Structure 1
Amino acid sequence: MTSTSTSTAGSAPSGTPAGPPGAGLPTDDTDPFSHEVLENPIPFHTALRDAGPVVHLTRHDVYAFARYEQVHAALVDWQGFQSAAGVGLSNFRYEKPWRPPSLLLEADPPRHDAPRRVLSAVLGPRALRRLRAGWLADAEALLDEVLAGGDEFDAVPSLAEAFPLRVFPDAVGIGKHGRENLLPYGDFLFNAFGPHNDLVAAAAPRAGELASWVNDRCGRDALSDDGFGARIWAAADRGEITHEQAPLVVRSLLSAGVDTTVHALSAVLYAIATAPQEWERLRAQPSLARVAFDEAVRWESPVQTFFRTATTDVRVAGHVIPEGTKILMFLGSANRDPRRWTDPDVFDLSRDPSGHVGFGMGLHQCVGQHVARLEAEALLTALASRVRTIELAGPTVRHHNNTLRAWESMPLRVRR
């Protein structure tokens, strides 16, 4: 980490206005998308928070917010920090998006409002109440299948990936054939929010094929008559959104509703495997399942970063963020900021994790977060009824992604 009173900005992304930061602004030349940081971002986050409320990252010429106060403020201030210029490093003011922008994630009011209202209604409490019993039964069936194979298994493919791919596409209304495409598509999508590094290059050859498969699943004829997708198209028929918007809203479900949940489930499984006293607490009080999920999202932050773009010269903590420049918000860092959380590095079920920014905040807050919570509740409840102890059975392996804090492998050993 280097901190200086003045600095000259590094190379800017194509078309992005570059310029030196103001006097007294700390700078850092670390690449937050390097494999070293992606493997373990915690030391880098600590250094950023200690450096100040705003840090200029010279490698990509962006302004970093790593403390909870600034991250939360930027998330709720859509007028000052827009999403419509892209929530990744690419600046849509100057660069063409690789796909049509999301109507929810990459749009601001008023364009954002109608799609958000429709999706909020589709994913509302009534819909989740209808799904709850079925998902609990599905979780129990999946656990029985996994445990029939023995007391040691890899929790990532066996549980964290298998359960969302088992229940969520059904809820959306897409067929079973080709569901394995959802994970690599989401992986590329979240990688694409970062720079064009080796992670993007490795997945690029399949990007067109995967995007085409997902787009084909969003049409009315590809969806069942009783899922979330059909309800989105029905909203278009009622004029609540246009028929051109309907497939893009369905695509938002398939883009953001799988990978994030997979890695959040991995996070809570890792948490309970490495904190046996918290697992005992959860077994004794299964109603803590949703608290456990939210605390794991705070603790691990499956979505680590998102970008915003300054709509005007914005003053933050005494520094001016120039109009048109990118802000990189470190959600994972904010969720472990000791200025906001007591013992932030500890997974603790006695904590109230509400207020974490793992699902965002403000009007762009994740509209499907309650769906993810229901999936976690179902899986943890089934696990608690069948398993007395959980522990790691071998080395874990991280999966690197420019945006996500993810797992490749997590061997677990259970006792029943």
Structure 2
Amino acid sequence: MRTESPHGPYDPFSYEVQEDPYPFYAWMRENAPVYHNAERGFYAVSRYEDVSTVLRDPKRFTNRNGISLEPSLWGPQAYKNVFFLALDPPDHAALRSLTAKDFTPRHVGKRTERIRELTRRRLDPLLEAGDTFDFAADFAAAVPNDVVCEMLGIPEADWDTIRFDTDLLTKRESDSDERSPETLAAAFRLATYYVHLVADIRKHPSDNLVSILCQANVKGVKLSDSEIIAFIFLIVSGGNESTGKLIGSSWYHGWAMPQVQRTGLGGRYGDWLNETLRYDNSSQMTSRTATEDVVLHDTLIPAGSRVVVLHASANRDHRVFENPDTFDIDRDTRKMLSFGAGPHHCLGGALAKVEMEIVLEEVAKEVESYEIDIAATARVHSAHQRGFQHLPTTVKRRGKSG
């Protein structure tokens, strides 16, 4: 058995891995199901069964040090950055429950028409301006950001600014795991903005998520401004990064596979996005800390070790999905782990799926087919997120010849 992939070491901060991580995952699943990167200091699990087990076992694999490999976001202080994502049950459930009802399928269903309105507000001006536009930057990333900003109570005039700075939070100019000065400046601007937002909403509460948190208490204790700000970062980043990039990836795979494009634009929006979720999820990984010595596949994961959980790899495991490297719009995707599993399954999963389906449906009302200028595309470089920053697209409108 080889000790290293023929593609090189698995390093999520490597641009080579970020461009196409799936050959690395495939090698690890078969040759090193518990992969150790000594230089970065983590163990990685890649098989479906192991990923599912770790996600569902907070006693042996805790969130207390956070879920990111970035040094600035990892450690006992992680709670300050990612709020309840850095907690385990029962503390995690107590905080998650404060806003969980707003993300249930029932409550999300009530927002359907508003999401459709926000989608058309982004799409219509693009189509009126011509048949060529940047599907990723000007549309796919904008709609989820608009939805979540409105839910939080962020004024509409600031939505694009919030999106711009949130995009910078994951931007990397090299293989380094450290944040760039540009990223740190964006984080500071957002934090300053959110400080003023929370102060204003405390004085003038309304019907939004931040108002709910400002008025909430857990076991008789009100949330601090810093806790609420951490929640805002979490929700905006989740909506902006994961959902927007998934929409863009659906679009890209529709271009790469014309039959998928025809079938998807023909009405099978849910199947199109579900298979994209499985095949090429925007969220590639999360992290945990081993609370005790754990042996998996004859490999010791010592207590205190960082454990990278590759749910994007699990979705390509042939033990669960037949022909996993084939994009199959007819596939049963119910077993996919794209939204996680266990107590930390994605809070916004139902909202994300509704947003994605509405976006594709509204585009399909206007667009018969499309082409992507592949030479001008650009991927986002992030250890945790996968997707496109730019997808220059030319569409053929329905009812138009030529």
- Whole-angstrom CA distance in 2 between matches of 1:94 and 1:68: 25
Output the amino acid matched with 2:210.
Answer: G
Q: Is the 8 A contact 2:105 2:351 kept in 1?
A: no
- Whole-angstrom CA distance in 1 between matches of 2:326 and 2:391: 20
Q: Any stretches of 5+ residues in structure 1 without a counterpart? A: 5-27
SS at match of 1:324: coil
- Whole-angstrom CA distance in 1 between matches of 2:220 and 2:251: 39
Aligned position for 2:222: 242
Q: Is the 8 A contact 1:54 1:316 kept in 2?
A: yes
2:286 to 306, 313, 323: 306
Q: Is 367-376 or 215-224 further displaced after alignment?
A: 215-224
- Whole-angstrom CA distance in 2 between matches of 1:89 and 1:46: 21
1:261 to 233, 243, 246: 243
Aligned position for 1:402: 383
TM-score when normalising by structure 2: 0.86
Q: Is the 8 A contact 1:160 1:262 kept in 2?
A: yes
Q: Does 1:377 align with 2:362?
A: no
TM-score when normalising by structure 1: 0.84
Q: Cα gap change, 1:283/1:408 in structure 2, threshold over 3 Å: closer, same or farther?
A: closer
- Whole-angstrom CA distance in 2 between matches of 1:29 and 1:310: 22
Output the amino acid matched with 2:43.
Answer: Y
Identity of aligned residues (%): 27
SS at match of 2:108: helix
Cα deviation for residue 91 of structure 1 reads 7.6
2:207 to 226, 233, 241: 226
- Whole-angstrom CA distance in 2 between matches of 1:93 and 1:389: 42
Aligned position for 1:13: none
Output the amino acid matched with 2:160.
Answer: E
Residue-pair matches, total:
389
1:415 to 380, 389, 396: 396
Q: Is the 8 A contact 1:84 1:92 kept in 2?
A: no
Q: Is the 8 A contact 1:119 1:249 kept in 2?
A: no
SS at match of 1:400: coil
- Whole-angstrom CA distance in 2 between matches of 1:354 and 1:209: 40
Cα deviation for residue 198 of structure 1 reads 5.8
Output the amino acid matched with 1:51.
Answer: N
SS at match of 2:313: helix
Aligned position for 1:271: 253
1:393 to 373, 379, 386: 373
Aligned position for 2:120: 140
SS at match of 2:394: strand
Q: Is the 8 A contact 1:390 1:414 kept in 2?
A: yes
Q: Cα gap change, 1:333/1:126 in structure 2, threshold over 3 Å: closer, same or farther?
A: closer
Q: Does 1:320 align with 2:314?
A: no
- Whole-angstrom CA distance in 2 between matches of 1:80 and 1:350: 37
Q: Cα gap change, 1:168/1:89 in structure 2, threshold over 3 Å: closer, same or farther?
A: closer
Aligned position for 1:40: 20
SS at match of 2:194: helix
Q: Cα gap change, 1:169/1:398 in structure 2, threshold over 3 Å: closer, same or farther?
A: same
Output the amino acid matched with 1:399.
Answer: V
- Whole-angstrom CA distance in 2 between matches of 1:335 and 1:45: 10
SS at match of 1:388: strand
- Whole-angstrom CA distance in 1 between matches of 2:220 and 2:261: 45
Output the amino acid matched with 2:58.
Answer: W
Output the amino acid matched with 1:346.
Answer: T
SS at match of 1:105: helix
Larger relative helix fraction: 2
SS at match of 2:319: coil
Output the amino acid matched with 2:234.
Answer: S
- Whole-angstrom CA distance in 2 between matches of 1:394 and 1:364: 36
Q: Is 152-161 or 117-126 further displaced after alignment?
A: 117-126
Q: Does 1:3 align with 2:13?
A: no
- Whole-angstrom CA distance in 1 between matches of 2:311 and 2:165: 23
Cα deviation for residue 232 of structure 1 reads 3.4
Q: Is 183-192 or 297-306 further displaced after alignment?
A: 183-192
- Whole-angstrom CA distance in 2 between matches of 1:195 and 1:174: 34
Q: Is the 8 A contact 2:289 2:307 kept in 1?
A: yes
Cα deviation for residue 310 of structure 1 reads 0.3
1:329 to 289, 302, 309: 309
Q: Is the 8 A contact 2:269 2:360 kept in 1?
A: yes
Aligned position for 1:17: none
Aligned position for 1:76: 56
- Whole-angstrom CA distance in 1 between matches of 2:327 and 2:371: 15
Q: Is the 8 A contact 2:62 2:290 kept in 1?
A: yes
Q: Cα gap change, 1:3/1:241 in structure 2, threshold over 3 Å: closer, same or farther?
A: same
